[in-house]
Amino acid sequence: MRSAYDVIVVGFGFAGGAAAVAAADKGASVLLLEKMPDPGGISITAGGGMRVCDDYEAAFDYIKASNDGRTPDANIAPIVEGMGWLPQWFGELAADVRAVTEVAPYPGNYPFPGYEALQMLNVLDIPGFDPAREYPHAKALTGGTRAGRGGAAANAAGGGIGVFKVVHEAVKRRDIDVCLGASARRLLSDEHGATGVVVDTGGEQRRVTARGGVVLACGGFESAPDLKRQYWQIDPVLSSACRGNTGDGIRMAQALGADLWHMWHFHGTYGFRHPEHPDIGIRMKRLPDWRPSGRGSAGDGESRAAPMAWVLVDQAGRRFMNEYAPYVQDTGHRPMEPFDPAALRFSRVPCWAVFDDVARKLYPVGGPVLNDRDPSVHYEWSDDNLSEVENGLLHRADSLAELASYMDVDEAAFCETVDAWNGRIEAGLPDEHGRPMSTRCAIATPPYYCGEIWPVVSNTQGGPRHDAEQRVLTPFDEPVSGLYVAGELGSIWGYLYTAGCNLTECFVTGRISGEHAAERAAPT
């Protein structure tokens, strides 16, 4: 690590890797810092599908509608433009490792204008790549989001771990100084803006300056309890991907006057609490997304939904939500948010997942993902869900009354809830909460099972507000000179999120910020 560079990038996930590559390709000297001992951040745990589109107008209309007016058009435009050039740019990076990629139709999660034109870019294969050998610290979704599949494919070289392999190799092939286990503690600044960072490596602090700029690509605040309690009503929310995302970039940018946006919005769902690490969440099994019917919709979205083994009941023993919302990975936590002012508690935190023995045999109901080298945090869910009965994540009961007693809910209310659920399935009646018919499984064959369920965050969308060049802005719309953000830190997604968009944003904003920072350092 030298004392000065053209560009300093903080965080080595997709966004940080893209920023470093883009800056280096512009001729800049680059320092890439990662606070954790291994690279990848939450990026490496992702599904791996990158949202792309070759129809600018359609993509713009869709993303504008999904943001519901909470993000300016000027910030949407670069993302949409990037959806057009990303396949070629990423393809050039992928060619270096002979990765096989595919762009296939994959409509948006919601029937907003333009949804049918959206596509997905996936890594299908990387010859000779063994994820378990090269990234043993990462347990990730595999296979990306494939057209026609609606979920994770079986190819272990795909998914976020395969996409990160492409990025990692691109960084290695360039003259980029990479420092792992190196935390950016504070930004250096003068009267004009950011001039570098204070870096902590094993307790030793060094001041490193940046001639062109600092790119903060260090993720969100999934593992920052103080920020989550400050900006979200619901509490607690467990983190499911990376313990390194503690809001560092937000704090450093605020110290230089950054405005914030979208702090309320996080990409989240619900799941179990890790049996040994109570701050870590284990998401439920990842099931295919489906699309609700609506104006202009093809009307076949529900056919993509798969049987979901469980229902959720609150602390009164009653269902309260559609457990299988169209994109449950983004909005699954939202029905758990209300606070009961009479009972003085969150009556749905925790809640309970309930299913019978037939559903228990369908698949593992838990789907852990995590990037961490500590082996104790990597939980392996059993194929038949019986190990979880033994360790207490699940409880087995021979009757519904016994299950109600264990959950400490009203027996009559719980049994009435189960009878109503089964009765509607048998009669072919619509679900009162809008759950698709194809997803419903009866709770009729003992023994019965339950597990305590908590809200879980995959990644946050809030952070420093920025302009189209990724320059951090103050509350007075003034750019902080030399300070950029990329990726989920200050993401544009302000209301509803669509699968694959955060990954696209990482590459697009990483490239934009890296190039602009490099250009600032270039001789005039």
Entry field: residues in the chain: 524
Q: How confident is the model at residue 114 (pLDDT cuts 50, 70, 90)?
A: very high
Q: Range with the lowest mean pLDDT among 171-180, 246-255, 293-302, 418-427?
A: 293-302
Average pLDDT for the chain: 93
Whole-number pLDDT of residue 151: 36
* Separation in Å, CA 228 to CA 6, 221, 460: 34, 7, 10
Q: Are 82 and 492 in contact (CB under 8 A)?
A: no
127 CB-near residues (< 8 Å, 6+ apart): 98
Mean pLDDT of 435-464: 97
Whole-number pLDDT of residue 139: 79
Report whether pLDDT(294) > 80.
no
Q: Tokens 């939450």, residue?
A: 42
112 CB-near residues (< 8 Å, 6+ apart): 61, 62, 65, 66
Mean pLDDT of 389-415: 98
- Residue from 52, 367, 26, 370 nearest 176 by CA: 26
Mean pLDDT of 36-46: 94
Mean pLDDT of 217-237: 96
The burial of 302, by beta-carbon neighbours within 10 Å (0-12 exposed, 13-18 middle, 19 or more buried), is given as middle
Q: Are 64 and 110 in contact (CB under 8 A)?
A: no
Report whether pLDDT(152) > 50.
no
pLDDT in tens, 248-283: 999 999 999 999 999 999 999 999 999 999 999 999
Q: How confident is the model at residue 523 (pLDDT cuts 50, 70, 90)?
A: confident
Mean pLDDT of 497-514: 96
Q: Range with the lowest mean pLDDT among 149-158, 434-443, 507-516?
A: 149-158
- Residue from 21, 96, 46, 126 nearest 503 by CA: 46
pTM: 0.94
Give me 209's structure tokens: 């300056």
